[in-house]
Amino acid sequence: MRKVTTALLALAFVLAGCTDRKADSKSAHLKPEENAAPTANQAAPNSIELQQPADNNVAPARTPDVVFVPTPQEVVDKMLEIAQVKKDDLLYDLGCGDGRIVVTAAGRYGCRAVGYDIDPRRIKESLLNVKENNVGHLVRIEQKDIFTLDLSEASVITLYLLPRLNVRLIPQLEKLKPGSRIVSHDFNMKGVKPDKVVRVTSGDNEESHRIYFWTTPLKRTTEKPAPGEED
């Protein structure tokens, strides 16, 4: 009996280890892929200081909706260019990953930016990126569920989410001030007509990406979301 009990305990630990490794492979952005290192290197001068939250060492409120894949820097640059980011903007990145969008926006344009993510690992990466690029006086990183946020103060929203998640954000996006800009890497928003769609080529393999751009008030269409996209 002792041998049987010991064998069962050993099996339980093995299974627990497998579960932990599987859970560790998930995070807070998109398709599975290796994480890329942050690339923005410019510091931003003279703007409003944003204090970082005191404690980000907390577990996710729930399982992340998507797996983290970094947006290529060429795409980040184009997203911010299309959104016509300016120094007086307040940018929210919903699902900020390693923080490269908010760091680039603050470093290049001198604007304030807030990155939100539900995964504490991404929060730590973002905070490190903010520190290394000396933009802590402009950038705030918060661990939050993006679907609980009041977005109304932002003038620019950046996204790299799945289409159904973009659709789910529509009620929040409709509360943005008129003239606010929304840019999404690769994924559209069914039922809302984009102002423009731009293709970008990135990397040595010349991978093609799309950038969708909307301004508020959103231009609703008769196009219905596919099953599951309105969840």
Q: Which CATH number is 59's domain given?
A: 3.40.50.150
Residue 180 within a domain? yes
Q: Is residue 11 part of a domain?
A: no
- Number of domains the chain is built from: 1
1 within a domain of the structure (yes/no): no
* Residue 230 forms part of a structural domain: no
pTM of the predicted model over 0.85: no
Strand-pair category, 181-185 with 207-215 = antiparallel
Kind of pairing, strands 139-143 and 192-193?
A: unpaired
Q: Residue 48: inside a domain, yes or no?
A: yes
Q: Which of 55, 65, 31, 35 is nearest to 145 (CA)?
A: 65
Asked if the structure places residue 227 within a domain, the reply is no
Measured between alpha carbons, how far is 34 from 227 in angstroms, rounded to an integer?
30
Is residue 229 in a domain? no
Dihedral of alpha carbons 40, 41, 46, 52, sign: positive
Q: What are phi and psi of 93, to 5 degrees?
A: -105, 115
- Apex 175 CA angle, 173 and 178, nearest 5: 95
**What range defines the domain where residue 121 resides?**
28-220
Token pair of 217, please? 């008030």
Sequential pLDDT tens for the chain (231 residues): 444 444 443 444 333 433 333 333 333 344 333 334 344 444 333 333 344 444 445 555 577 778 889 999 999 999 999 999 999 999 999 999 999 999 999 999 999 999 999 999 999 999 999 999 999 999 999 999 999 999 999 999 999 999 999 999 999 999 999 999 999 999 999 999 999 999 999 886 789 999 999 999 999 997 665 554 443
